[in-house]
Each structure stands twice: as structure tokens, then as C-alpha cells.
Amino acid sequence: MAEDLDTDLAIIGAGPTGLFSAYYAGFRGLRVAVVDSLPELGGQITAMYPEKQILDVAGFPSIKGRDLVDGLVEQANTADPAYVLDKTATGLTCTDDDVTITMDDGTRLTAKALLITAGIGKFSPRPLPAGEGWLGRGMEFFVPSFAPYAGKDVVIVGGGDSAFDWAIHLEPVARSITLVHRRDAFRAHERSVQAVRDSTVEIVTKAQVTGLFGEPTVSEVEITIDGQEPVRRPAQAVVAALGFVADLGPLQKWGIEVQKRHIVVDSAMRTNLPRVFAAGDITEYPGKVKLIAVGFGEAATAVNNAAVVIDPSAHVFPGHSSEGT
């Protein structure tokens, strides 16, 4: 039978924002438990792009995803958190004194406050129309490791940050890279787009991958440019980087105010429910900028305000760690 848990602050989500929240909760002297539906710490970085270079974290001009997670885990462990992994939070009950989270295996976690840092929630990749039946046969949605692409002709489909980031990182590994996008305009960061333009990557716009061929794995793709006849070219790997369909799952039934699949918070990172806070990509407010660095700041704001809810004699501002005694 699952063992029930009790803590000061419960955190749902073990990605970068959740891990920093755990550390900061320890910094404030709070007991903390971290819940995640994935079996490993690190959230989307660990699951999707551990090899990707991350460029928006203060103090690191560039840092590999797995290295950032390793540092955050080491930092979080100073708080001696209880990790509840491979379990999904399915229910939430709030009272004037505490909150209780129920997991899919029946485990109950009671805390004096809850902080939700669960990224964009449960998500599924947008499918490649021509890719039905090809997943695992040369077509993938993520690139957790670059080694399988060594010496291959790779076709990447998409025009967002992931498509361009993977094109940049795979270019020195693969034999050739072709990036296919259905429009001339891209959704990726300008710096990434320029880096790809300056590389050997071939960019094909106003085009779609309309067919995959090979047995048992892909060996050719068919690319159709608007107004032209389809053309086949060699490809032993296809990456469908078409974005994701977000689904907040059970969280949507908890009574939390949600706007466009994001949790609405105020300047203290409070939700509309008592004792429930949120931080990171899952939050929404005017002027929101979705960066890992912003998530770290929101985590500190949320934990400091939660500390007062947990202990009314505490202060929101704890002082600077660099201050003398």
C-alpha cells in the first residue's frame, strides 16, 4: 500500500523551475517534496533534449541540458527533498490549513502550500501527416542523443526553435541536413535561424514532406514544394519537430483558473486557490516571457510568498544570501 506523505511545501514538476524551487524552499528552511510523472528528474530537458545547448541561463554563455539538470539536482539536494517520481498528481483538495494531493497510485501528499511548476503539462507531439506508422523506423519526434544520426542524411521538419536547434547540433554529426518548412517565415530565435543559414544545412521552404519510403526503416523522403512536382531524396532519419499539443490533464478539474492552457497568477505567483502557487512555463500573466531564467525568478517569488502562508510569522523577503550578519 502506498505510504502517505506530509511536508511544508509540495512541488508538482521536477523540471528546472521545480528543482530550483526545491532548493529555494530549503534555503527558507522548509521541508519540501517534489512530484513528477516522469521517472527521472529534469522534466522536458531530460526527456527531450539533454544534449541541447541552452543559451538563456544567467552565468552560462552556453550549457548542455543534461549539465544544467545535474547542477540543479545537486543544488536541490541541499534541501533534502522527498522525490515522488513516476507518479501523476490526479486530485487536489484545499482547506484553510493545508492542501492534499492524490497520486494515481493512491499516495496522498499533504502540505501547507502547493507550488505547481509542471511546464506545459502533459503534451503530445504534433504528428507528421506523412509519418503515420514510421515512428521508431527512422522517424522520431525528439533527439535525446546525437550519436544515432552520425553519417546519415537527416531531414528535419519544422520552423520553430527545436527544429533549428537540432539542425545546428546535428550538422557536424550527420552527412547532410535538410530543414523543411511549409512557410518562408520561422518561429525560431533569429540567432538560431542565422546560424543555420550560415551552415551547410539546406533550408527548403514553402514545402512539406509528403511521403516516407524504405524497408524496414526509412531510406527516402518525398518533398513537395508548393506548385512543383514531388521530389525524392535520400534520408535515413527524419525528425518531426512540429511542436506539441498541450494538455493540463487532471489539473484542469482542480478549480484553478486557466487561460489558454496556462495557470493565471498574480504578482506573488498566487493562483485563485488558497495556498496554491505556480511558476514557470505553466503560468500566464501580462508581459509573461517564457524563459528558464524567468522561471527561476518566479520560483523565488512563489516560495517566498508561500513561506508566509506556511508560517505567518515569516517575512516575504528573507534578505540577500550575500548579506553579512
Q: Which fold has domain 5-123+244-310?
A: FAD/NAD(P)-binding domain (3.50.50)
Domain map (residue ranges) of the chain: 5-123+244-310, 127-240
> Alpha carbon of 99 to those of 36, 93, 172, 260: distances in Å?
17, 6, 50, 25
Helix or strand holding residue 178 (H, E):
strand 176-180
**Per-residue model confidence (pLDDT) at position 297:** 97
- The alpha carbon of residue 324 and the mean position of all alpha carbons in its chain are separated, in whole angstroms, by 37
Instruction: Determine if the pTM surpasses 0.85.
Output: no
Question: How far is it, in rounded angstroms, from Cα 85 to Cα 226?
Answer: 47
**Per-residue model confidence (pLDDT) at position 47:** 77
Nearest to 120 by CA among 300, 243, 293: 243
**Per-residue model confidence (pLDDT) at position 161:** 86
What is the tally of helices (H) and strands (E) in the chain?
6, 22
Q: Which fold has domain 127-240?
A: FAD/NAD(P)-binding domain (3.50.50)
**Per-residue model confidence (pLDDT) at position 93:** 95
**Per-residue model confidence (pLDDT) at position 246:** 58
pLDDT, the chain, mean = 91
**Per-residue model confidence (pLDDT) at position 252:** 86
For the stretch 266-315, pLDDT in tens is: 999 999 999 999 999 999 999 999 899 999 999 999 999 999 999 999 99
**Per-residue model confidence (pLDDT) at position 1:** 42
**Per-residue model confidence (pLDDT) at position 168:** 94
Residues of the chain predicted below pLDDT 70: 1-2, 120-124, 244-247, 321-325
